[in-house]
Chains A and B, each alone.
Chain A
Amino acid sequence: MIVICAACLLALTAALVSLHGRQAAAQNPVLYWGSSGDDVFRVQQRLSQWGYYKGSMDGFYGDDTFQAVSYFQRSNGLVADGVVGQATWDALGLSVPRETPAVSRGVATDRGDVTLLARVIEGEAANESLLGKVAVGAVILNRTKSASFPRTISGVIFQQDAFESIANGQAYRPLSQESLQAAQMAMGGYDPTGGALFFWNPAKPVNPWVWSRNIVTQIGNHVFAR
């Protein structure tokens, strides 16, 4: 009788919790043989992730779960009574925080990367159309996705001899609005180069090695290659 009541109560609590969001759950319920519901499911899931539980995740506290909880308690220096009380909840890392601590707002933005990308675009393609500028930005972003290059925008841009405008300081000119827009569009996924990793101006002297790459297209004064 008590077991059934507890189960009903649990189901009711679970329903209330899911109706009112999460703040309502002030503390963890005690779970034992015969319990059921989402809390049992969470315990089963955690025990299964940690390799203590092999049964099905049915949200019902049966023999399998009892054995798994006892095994977990034994292995972690808890009283192996097969009942999930507060100590076991804590050990499982599932205890409900007593109160949510004040969390201040983060300060992460993408401003640094956009500006840096815009700088190189300004340095390398100031006289190109928006399309030509976006294409240069896209090459830098394609490099961050390629295994042969560093993974971050700054890593790619400051790689030795990667961009002439960085080496000779051309990139530190004032930024134009168009370069900023091109940087944002490239970050937004526009890639007119079809995945190119290299670009160069054929009118200027370049390492002959680059001509051996698979040329994709030409946009404005730049040749793009993969």
Chain B
Amino acid sequence: MRKWILAVIVGLLALAAVASWGYSQQTANRRLEIYLTNKYQRAFYDLASQTQNLEVLLSKSMVTSDPRLDSALLMDIRQQAAFAQSNLCQLPLNDALAGRTAKFLSQVGDYADSLARQVNQGETIDAKQWDTLNSLYQQAAVLNGELQGMQAAVAQNSFYFGEMVRQVKSKLQKPPDDLARTDFQSVDKQMQSYPALVYDGPFSEHLERAEPRELSGLGDIDAPEAERRALAFIDKQSGADYQARVTGTTNGRIPAHRVEVTRTGGPGGAATVLDVSRQGGKVIWMMNSRPAGDQTVSIEEARRKALQFLSDRGFGEMRSTYFQRQGNSVTFNFAALQNGVTLYPDLVKVTVALDNGEVVGAETSGYLMSHRQRDLPKAAISRERALAVVNPRLEVSGGDLVLIPVGVSDEKLAYEFHGKLGEDSYLIYVNAVNGREENVLKLIETPGGTLTM
């Protein structure tokens, strides 16, 4: 009899414990859901108000006449666009739903940025650019209108975003539908109608379709030729035979044959994979996945090997500009030289394993995209003149002529100065034609190599 009562009491206690555990779990869950909802709501309202600011700023930028005010407005536009994009990306939407809106916001920001630079250099906004500002303004107004409409829906349903998350999770495999997803999708569709921008900012659309200059005018090669080129490119070790096989084609920025090179005889190793461009038959990248053993080769020796590797493969005069160590391998950057001027856009990267000095990787796409014999301008100002532009607080050395990329498509001849302030090091680039300071990079020492930021 007593045992029976005891069992009931124990059972009830257990039930009570489970119930209270469940209850606390449920409240915790709910608290987290509210927390997340608040986070989404904040991001959404911020996005809406920043889009509103964008619309207003864009319209103002079309009517100001003072360049100083214009430059301030354009910088504001850039900032608001960046904030808006960052908030958009925090909402539970994927790329299919909000990709175009995100792209629009990036491009508004970049366009404003490139105009602000232009205004700062004393040039005015021309009629064509004004028209572009106008079309961006129209588009921002449409986006603003759509978001205002959504605000009503969000205000009525406080779990709008919570429901959206549940749908995203449960319908991951299906095409998006109903509620918020369609709201955002219609916004995104609206964004489709905005005209493609033509300007030279970082995300300009026509740049994505740039042609590799090193390959222009060359004919296409077939698969057996690609195999021959791959075999000629790899760093052959003595006592080993190599066999190349085309395993497919790739359809990237530079269309290519994918070639796999395996070695037979000699010490074993992983296969080397290469992409050989269809046009012109140049190696775009090469990579051997074998792990590197203990170091027996110094960095200096590895650098010499890498440089020899490049000159054996028909790359002209190259200068080592930077290196970074990854475990027991090291990657060197080499820039092409023309009459002693370092061409920074024409970069080749070479990775050397430090166990036996074998070249295990190479990447030449920067070189293929931009290398050519350039018509370099004459330096119009002397090194001393250029030095006078540099901040007098810096302790300066160097002063070689280099060609630096400005934006993505533009290149400027500049003097490269090394500056030191206390323990920090900088690279300062002064335009050799007009004496303007083009860029300042900060050098950051890391265990793997020196970084520039």
Report which A residues bind B (CB closer than 8 A).
Answer: 14, 18, 21-23, 25, 38-39, 41-42, 45, 48-49, 51, 57, 59, 96-97, 100, 102-106, 108-111, 129-131, 134, 145-151, 155, 159-162, 177-178, 180-181, 184-185, 188-196, 205-209, 214-218, 226
Contact = CB atoms under 8 A, between A and B. Distances in A.
Contact of B289 (A49, A131, A188): A131
B187 to A, nearest CB: 15
Given A96-B392, A184-B448, A207-B172, 14 more contacts: A22-B392, A59-B385, A110-B444, A131-B289, A146-B203, A147-B107, A147-B110, A150-B89, A181-B329, A184-B326, A192-B275, A194-B254, A194-B256, A208-B173
Contact of B361 (A162, A185, A193, A194): A185
Contact of A103 (B333, B423, B435): B423
B366 interface: yes
Given A100-B393, A108-B444, A192-B273, A148 B99 contact: yes
Nearest to A159: B89
If over half of B's interface residues share one DSSP class (helix, strand or loop), that class is named, otherwise mixed; here it is mixed
Interface of B: 67, 82, 85-86, 89-96, 99-100, 102-103, 106-107, 110, 121-122, 168, 172-173, 175, 202-203, 248, 250-254, 256, 258, 270, 273, 275, 284-285, 287, 289, 291, 324, 326-327, 329, 331, 333, 347, 349, 351, 361, 363, 365-366, 384-385, 387-390, 392-397, 421-424, 435-436, 442, 444, 446, 448, 451, 453
Contact of A209 (B96, B275, B347, B392): B96
Contacts of B289: 129-131
A190 B168 contact: no
A178 to B, nearest CB: 7
Contact of A42 (B363, B389, B446): B389
Interchain residue pairs A-B with the least CB separation, the first 3? A194-B252, A103-B422, A147-B106
A216 B366 contact: no
B85 A22 contact: no
Contacts of B256: 194
Contacts of B270: 129
Given A147-B107, A148-B100, A185-B326, A194 B287 contact: no
A130 B291 CA distance: 9
